[in-house]
Amino acid sequence: MDVAILDHGCTANTDVDWENQDVPKTLYALLERSARMYPDHKATSFQLTSGPGDKAETLTYAQLLARVCQAANMFRAHGIGETDVVAYVLPTCNDTLVTFLGGAIAGIVNPINPLLEPEQIGAILRETNSTVVVTLKAFPKTDIAQKVAEAVRHAPYVRTVIEIDLKKYLSPPKSWLIPLLRPKLDGPRHADYLDFETEIARQPKTLAFADSAGDRTAFYFHTGGTTGMPKVAQHRYSGAIYNGWIGEQMLYTDTDVVMCPLPLFHVFACHPVVMGVISSGAHVVFPTPAGYRGDGVFDNFWKLCERWKVTFIFTVPTAIAAKMQRPVDADLSTVKYAFSGSAPLPVELFRRFEEAAGINIIEGYGMTEATCVVSCNPVNGVKKIGSVGVPFPYSEVRILRDTPDGPVECATDEIGEICVSNPGVVAGSTYIEQDKNHKLFHHDIYLRTGDLGRMDADGYLWITGRAKDLIIRGGHNIDPAEIEEALLGHEAVAFAGAIGQPDPRTGEMPCAYVELVAGADVTPQALLDYCKVHVHERAAQPKHMVIMDELPKTAVGKIFKPALRKEAIARVYNEALEAAGLTARVTEVTDDKKRGLVALVERNGADADAVSKVLDDYVRPWDFSG
């Protein structure tokens, strides 16, 4: 198999079908193979606290296989068969990884973001018909146990809650204090609550039931979820193993160490990282339960890389921006690459990071609905900054546009909707709620991603915008309807439109535009304060409010958001230029057929390099006018 993407920047064309690749067909078979080949190799390490010398727990591949088998046996003992669902609402730790793998071997595992509100967690539990939930035992400085207790009250199918106690990762005297500081859960319990360690200890360390006969649905991942009720996508063994195969073929060997501060409820961590590590026999390190959000993780990040002799770092643009605010104070000679995903990476941030840390960044593209990986820039070949690289082997990407006669393929550099077919796409039934699969595919094969983009003459994919009207804040999908519906509940608001305005740290931040009821009088700050109460998810609360005499509308009365996006780009860029003491200004935002919305900047005597230094921090492109 020619994996030319590694060196030359082109996907390999092969006459061999993915189904005929010599790879394990189930998750258990994949893990068992690595444990057999690398029994004493380190598989996973976890630190509860972020200090470079703090206590850590490490499991070898033999130990990981044994514990995963115990977990799978435990879930079977509690009624989880191949079509039953075990959900988990957990921060990161080694037992979260064990739960993820054991749940997918026993039945269908359903990772849930612990940052969601109880109402959203409960909705996912109901939609997936989860019967067992693994979560955190009440612990200081976290409310996960309280959230889950509330969510389970509204999830009638949940009959068993199994609790993991983070106390096990602490040493005395800190561990002695936990019983004194542990929060008490109020109210009646609506399921049987059991202890994870007690239940798992009862099980044998080898699989006590027959492994699945072959490919099947084994994972439910919810999308977005920072507002509204998330959709739930189903993944099969084949898609997860495909992600692992990509990692093994193109990234990792059994001697590599992968730093993963990404959460284990997100596909980025669970498939490209975990499956790639298991497939290759590499070692993954998880720093603190909250990953990048953990206390001291950014301050200690480079020293943690030195401690573990990390070779690969997985990150997102917001984390890269935070790292750039800390000095590189450690030996990073082992680090080969940093992989960035979840949101576009500003060009200037890309360059500053590579210059300061001496680490090459590889940008890639993936999505929950495709079981993650789709494309990335070549590891050792030509990287096009701003692109998301070339499609992986067995991943077919087409740029299509709708016409009255059906979808038509776009020409080179012509913008259309990015559509994907690969072993991770479950054609026809991506979402478990079938109504949500309506019009999700072209030709019943190609998943419509909702992203707009183009393919250049060299086969590199460029994302230029979104067909879906989502706001992406640091990789989190925010439904603007949640903001708009909240604002329309205010007595002074007649119309509301929410969009993402450019932000140098998160890519986008939610902002809102409103048209008032005739005769109404309200200030932008009052509306922002109103949103703090009525937009329940903090990440979705708008950071800027504009009151307009009349919102731009289409002929049928819909809010015309392209005009709002242009206004936001011009406003944000001009504010940044003014704050930097520069006289340059955005005079127009145009719609370029290749690049999407582009800000045209008049220098007005300002230094060109100084303007570039300010505006290159943003994802949206710009040019000097004239």
The DSSP line for 2-43 is: --GGGTTS-PPP-SS-GGGSS--SSHHHHHHHHHHH-TTSEE
Q: Which amino acid is at 228?
A: G
| 288-312: b (≥16 Cβ within 10 Å) or e | bbbbbebeebbebbbbbbbbbebbb
pLDDT tens track for 390-430: 999 999 999 999 888 889 999 999 989 999 999 999 988 89
Residue ranges covered by each domain of the chain: 4-449, 469-555, 560-626
pTM of the model: 0.83
Low-confidence ranges of the chain (pLDDT < 70): 1-16, 224-229, 554-557
Query: What is the dotted CATH code of the domain comprising 469-555?
Result: 3.30.300.30
Same CATH topology for 4-449 and 469-555: the answer is no
The per-residue pLDDT for 18 is 79
Could you tell me if 288 and 297 are in contact, meaning their C-beta atoms sit under 8 angstroms apart?
yes
Q: Which two tokens stand for residue 110?
A: 């359903």
Q: Are 424 and 391 in contact (CB under 8 A)?
A: no
- The Cα 86–Cα 532 span in angstroms is 34
Residue 224 to residues 114, 229, 318, 440, 557: CA-CA distances in angstroms? 13, 9, 17, 17, 28
Q: How does pLDDT run across 216-231, given as a tens digit for each residue?
A: 999 999 986 433 467 8
In this prediction, residue 149 carries a pLDDT of 95
Q: 211 with 82: CB under 8 angstroms?
A: no
DSSP codes joined into one string, 319-355: HHHHHTTS---S--TT--EEEE-SSPPPHHHHHHHHH
Q: Encode pLDDT of 1-55 as tens digits.
A: 233 444 433 343 334 477 778 899 999 999 999 999 999 999 999 999 999 999 9
CB atoms within 10 A of CB 161: 22
Strands (E), 112-230: 132-136, 160-164, 192-195, 217-222
Beta carbons of 455 and 417 less than 8 angstroms apart: no
What residues pair up with 337 in beta bridges, in sequence order?
A: 312, 360
- Strand duo 441-442 + 471-473: pairing: unpaired
Position 395 scores a pLDDT of 95
Q: What is the CATH number of domain 4-449?
A: 3.40.50.12780
On whether the CB atoms of residues 413 and 384 are closer than 8 A, the answer is no
The C-alpha angle with vertex 466 and arms to 462 and 470, in degrees rounded to 5, equals 140
Per-residue pLDDT at 153: 92
Rounded (10°) CA dihedral 368, 374, 377, 379: 90
